[in-house]
Amino acid sequence: AADAAADVDDSSAMTADGCRILLNANVGTPAEAEEAALAGVDGIGLLRSEFLFLNRSQAPTEAEQAEAYTRAVHAFDGRPVAVRTFDAGADKPLAFARSDGGEASAMSNPALGVRGIRLGMRREDLLDTQLAALADAYRASGNCLKVMAPMVATVQETQWFVDKAHAAGLPYAGIMIETPAAAVQSASLLAVADFASIGTNDLAQYTMAADRLDGSLSDLLDSWQPATLRMIRMTVEGGLVAGKPVGVCGEAAGDPLLALVFAGFGIRSLSMAWRKAAAVRSALRLHSLADCQRMAQAALNARSATEARQSALALADARL
């Protein structure tokens, strides 16, 4: 195993038997991207673009956005950067991006309302400006920029977004898998999209019908819930059918034991807060892919989140 790891640089993560797993960073600003780049991760798996403009009342211009995206891409100097288009609404309100174009609309249930790509489809002006800015950054970057849409639920939304991104000059256009609708039909969505990235925070929220902002529901929101794990596994299977890559970019990817389970499902790219990458890298080095698959199977068969975690831990190396 040590030999398998010897011929690549220190930052690359792999299992004990030499299966390469990409470790990427989740970031919200160019400054954070610069920090993450120094930490030696493989790329940015999620740039939450709405974080750049949270406190703005006016929509940012194309030039302003292009500058921010180009800065993030340059920090990563040829390593891949996946930018998510504005995920406005619900837990991430953007003053300038409301579905009615003006006054606050009173949605009775914002998490189930016009958010993510649904907002992008109603405010095409905002999305067009953002895609143009991303295309500027793409041209400046030597082809390492990817774009993905949040909160997708249907093939039609996927097709609409992917066509639009390609037409704007962005050849790598993907989707986030954050709804059960997207998870259960990931093969159909990935027949259209170039890649997918699973957002476990929202996927847990919608699978368990539990508000992610409600701390009293944390047991239900636990990514170890067998139902949520099954959604993730189902998404990976769809990716295999379509022959397209599926990564994970929700917070769960930063849990070393869960990262092993994801590797066992067939995930080869994990994106997390960059400070968590070192612990995930160490965990991967201690386990073979077969170990990871055994843990994955045990977790899937568990009857509760606690049992899933314990059954995976029981199969893990004692040094974890």
Query: Which positions touch ligand PEP (CB under 6 A)?
Result: 46, 48, 87, 178, 199-202, 249-250
Which amino acid would we find at residue 181? A
Report the C-alpha gap between 102 and 202 in whole angstroms. 26
Is residue 180 within the footprint of Mg ion (CB under 5 A)?
no
* Binder of residue 250, out of Mg ion, ligand PEP, none (CB less than 5 to 8 A by kind): ligand PEP
- Degrees to nearest 5, angle at CA 273 with 194 and 1: 80
> At closest approach, how far in Å is the CB of 204 from ligand PEP?
8
Name the packing angle between helices 124-141 and 155-168 (round to 10°).
50
- In the complex with Mg ion, which residue's Cβ is closer, 116 or 239? 116
Least distance from ligand PEP to the Cβ atom of residue 200, Å: 5
| C-alpha span between 167 and 21 (Å, rounded) | 31
Give the shortest CB-253-to-ligand PEP separation in angstroms. Answer: 9
Q: What dihedral angle (degrees, nearest 10) is formed by the CA atoms of 71, 60, 172, 79?
A: 10
Closest CA to 247 of 281, 222, 217, 270: 270
Q: What is the Cβ-side half-sphere exposure of residue 35, based on CA atoms within 13 angstroms?
A: 11
249 a catalytic residue: yes
Q: Return the C-alpha torsion angle 149, 152, 155, 158, nearest 10.
A: -10
Q: Which CA distances in Å does 142 have to 70, 74, 172, 273, 300?
A: 11, 10, 13, 25, 41
Q: Which of 19, 144, 249, 292 is catalytic?
A: 249
Q: Which of 60, 89, 199, 264 binds Mg ion (CB under 5 A)?
A: 199
Q: Is 178 annotated as a binding residue?
A: yes
Residue 42 to residue 106: CA distance in whole angstroms: 41
Residue 149 or 295 with smaller CB distance to ligand PEP:
149
251 binds Mg ion (CB under 5 A): no
The count of other CB atoms within 10 Å of the CB of residue 7 is 8
Residue whose entry in the numeric block shows the structure tokens 């016009």: 114
Residue 247 to residue 45: CA distance in whole angstroms = 8
The nearest distance, CB 295 to Mg ion, in angstroms, is: 25
Provide, rounded to whole angstroms, the least separation between the CB of residue 202 and ligand PEP.
3
Minimum CB separation of residue 238 from ligand PEP in Å reads: 18
Q: Is 201 annotated as a binding residue?
A: yes
The verdict on whether residue 285 carries a ligand-binding annotation is: no
Helix 256-265 and helix 226-242, axial crossing angle in degrees, nearest 10:
40
120 binds Mg ion (CB under 5 A): no
Q: Is 251 annotated as a binding residue?
A: no
Q: Using CA atoms, how far apart are residues 156 and 64, in angstroms rounded to an integer?
A: 30
Tokens of 312: 């995976």
How many residues of this chain interact with Mg ion, rule: CB under 5 A?
A: 3
Q: Of the two residues 250 and 264, which places its CB atom closer to ligand PEP in the complex?
A: 250
Binding track over 200-239 against Mg ion, x by CB under 5 A = --x-------------------------------------
Q: Which window, 78-86, 196-204, 241-249, 267-275, contacts Mg ion (CB under 5 A)?
A: 196-204
Which residue, 89 or 256, has its beta carbon nearer to ligand PEP? 89
- Residue number of the CB atom closest to Mg ion: 202
Residues marked active site are found at 249
Q: Which residues are annotated as a binding site for Mg(2+)?
A: 178, 202
Q: Which residues are annotated as a binding site for phosphoenolpyruvate?
A: 48, 84, 201-202, 212
- Sites of contact with Mg ion (CB under 5 A): 178, 199, 202
